[in-house]
Amino acid sequence: MQVIKTKTKLKEELNKLGDQLSLGLVPTMGALHDGHASLIKKAVSENENVIVSIFVNPTQFNNQEDLDKYPKTIDNDIELISDISDRIILFTPEVSEIYPKTVTPKTYDFEGLDKVMEGEFRDDHFNGVGTIVEELFKIVQPNKAYFGEKDFQQLRIIQKLTEIKDIPVEIIGCDIIREEHGLAMSSRNERLSTKMRQKAAFIYDTLKTAKIKFGMENALNVKDWVIDEFKNHDDFELEYFDITDVETLTPMQNKINNVKYRAFIAVYVEDVRLIDNIALN
């Protein structure tokens, strides 16, 4: 597998690929797990050429400690990618290659999609995500790009980015991949003790019950029920639970027929921040 570190070299390689062949991009921050593997496999099955990028993007972290602690497992990552296919190109630029002048995010108008949930609790996070993803789209010019639904808000924001910047790329959302007990796969799970990693299945169990309740009871009671569930569990600190319209991500006021809703959650477990979500209807 080819590993490329500079934009110039990557562009050279991309120029050698046939124009008629489709090109898939899987942007990641490394510490790859089975969730990433599923995105990469989907990209390989749908495109002749695939670029995987690994770049821990500093402009999307609002907390220096979180950035410093972000796991780096490049040897394992290379092995995981090579096991999937040998026709993947890995792009792993340094920070100075992507941000030669200043390490600051651009500002976008995501029409409110960035103001709720993750956006409310992580200042400038989505401007940072937009900045790196727009740059990667500019460098790679993929036909399709793959993002996991675990970060559903990010997925919606990237769809919005392509709309407002008129970028001709098809955004493919991919199902959440879960550990055996139900915890959504995330590089952060590595930071949990074995015991809590199993216990954290409680997050998904709560989402599944919330979904059943959403179908049966007054939907507005579901949020209070979830808040109470977490109050009864000392191991977990609930940051937010919200039910929103999947298109606008605005919190539900009243359940409206024909509107698709999704429930979103962020929870601290052993000081590790975990997020998850579930389609409700």
Residue matched to tokens 């796969």: 185
The answer to whether 29 contacts ligand PAF (rule: CB under 6 A) is yes
The answer to whether 184 contacts ligand PAF (rule: CB under 6 A) is no
Pick one of 28, 38, 131, 244: the residue that binds ligand PAF (CB under 6 A).
Answer: 28
Task: Locate 79 and state its tokens.
Answer: 């092995």
For 134-200, give the secondary structure using H, E and C.
HHHHHHHCCCEEEEEHHHHHHHHHHHHHHHHCCCCCEEEEECCCECCCCCECCHHHHHCCHHHHHHC
Active site residue 125: no
Beta carbon of residue 215, minimum distance to ligand PAF (angstroms, whole number) = 30
**Quick check: 169 and 134 in contact, CB under 8 A?**
no
3-11, 25-33, 43-51, 113-121 -> range binding ligand PAF (CB under 6 A): 25-33
The answer to whether 132 contacts ligand PAF (rule: CB under 6 A) is yes
Closest by alpha carbon to 268, among 240, 242, 236?
Answer: 236
The answer to whether 277 contacts ligand PAF (rule: CB under 6 A) is no
Binding residue count for ligand PAF, defined by CB under 6 A: 10
Pick one of 4, 51, 98, 133: the residue that binds ligand PAF (CB under 6 A).
Answer: 133
Residue matched to tokens 């675990």: 150
The answer to whether 185 contacts ligand PAF (rule: CB under 6 A) is no
Site for ligand PAF in 30-89 (CB under 6 A): 57, 60
Pick one of 151, 179, 242, 276: the residue that binds ligand PAF (CB under 6 A).
Answer: 151
By beta-carbon proximity to ligand PAF, the closer residue of 117 and 129 is 129
The answer to whether 157 contacts ligand PAF (rule: CB under 6 A) is no
The rounded distance, in Å, linking the Cα atoms of 244 and 259 is: 10
Amino acid residing at 95: V
Strand order of the sheet with strand 144-148? 2-4, 88-91, 49-54, 23-28, 144-148, 170-174
The answer to whether 118 contacts ligand PAF (rule: CB under 6 A) is no
Footprint of ligand PAF (CB under 6 A):
27-29, 57, 60, 129, 132-133, 151, 154
